[in-house]
Amino acid sequence: MQSENLKNQLLIAMPNLDDPNFFHTVTLICDHGDSGAMGIVINRPTDIKVGEVFEQMDINTRHQKTAESPVYVGGPVEEQRGFVLHSGSKGWDSTLNVAEGVSVTTSRDILEAMARGEGPEQTLIALGYAGWGAGQLEQEMLDNAWLTVPADKAILFDLPPTQRWQAAADLLGIDINTISGESGHA
């Protein structure tokens, strides 16, 4: 089965998706291929602040705005592993380009630059990621668990997290709270 590549798409959880890891989430798909897919949930902030992460990693921070930013739950896989979703395409030590001007980095050098106030203009730090094995996401799409829409940087970085789920659905022209989770297949 040949499927559409969902890289740089936002996965919008359908209202009936009751998995607690994905209930009412928006996930940016960072990579998608024959072996599966990987994404970062962008609307689940935690009470942990980025400054606490810097402190745990012995990184001195001089950039208070960054230190006060929340850390997000990026997904249920490898929840102790950090990911920096960011604007720009500068090549950090370990960066995956998602789209023009949007990347995800997992190396320490970006965190050190952020602590100095020299990092990317827009960032979202997440612990963990969402992962799907070969064909799993495609099957979930067929099962009507997700809607997709091309990623929008304003939703990724500018909107408050509580508004991102509806805003992503708005790009499709729908009020997600009024649609049914049931679908028919011919």
Domains and CATH numbers, the chain: 9-178 (3.40.1740.10)
Sign of CA dihedral 43, 100, 78, 17: positive
CA–CA distance, 31 with 97 (Å, rounded to integer)? 9
Give the mean pLDDT of the chain.
Answer: 92
Q: Is 20 left (phi over 0), alpha (psi -120 to 50) or beta?
A: alpha
| Pairing, β 102-105 against β 95-99 | antiparallel
Give percent above pLDDT 90 in the chain: 83
Please report the pLDDT score of residue 1 as a whole number: 41
In which band, very low, low, confident or very high, does the pLDDT at 66 lie, cut at 50, 70 and 90? confident
- Name every residue whose Cβ is closer than 8 Å to that of residue 12 and which is 6 or more positions away in sequence: 26, 146, 147, 148, 149, 165, 168, 169, 172, 176
Q: What is the pLDDT of residues 74-84, one digit of tens each?
A: 999 999 999 99
Please report the pLDDT score of residue 180 as a whole number: 65
pLDDT exceeds 90 at position 63? no
Task: Write the DSSP assignment of 135-173 as a string of letters.
Answer: THHHHHHHTT-EEEEE--HIIIIIS-HHHHHHHHHHTTT
Between 63 and 25, name the one with better pLDDT. Answer: 25
Please report the pLDDT score of residue 3 as a whole number: 60
Residue 50 is classified by DSSP as H
CA–CA distance, 168 with 157 (Å, rounded to integer)? 12
Mean pLDDT of 92-113: 93
Between 48 and 61, name the one with better pLDDT. Answer: 48
CA–CA distance, 79 with 184 (Å, rounded to integer)? 36
Please report the pLDDT score of residue 182 as a whole number: 59
Q: What is the pLDDT of residues 123-136, one digit of tens each?
A: 999 999 999 999 99
pLDDT exceeds 80 at position 185? no
pLDDT exceeds 90 at position 2? no
Mean pLDDT of 112-133: 95
The position carrying tokens 């001007």 is 101
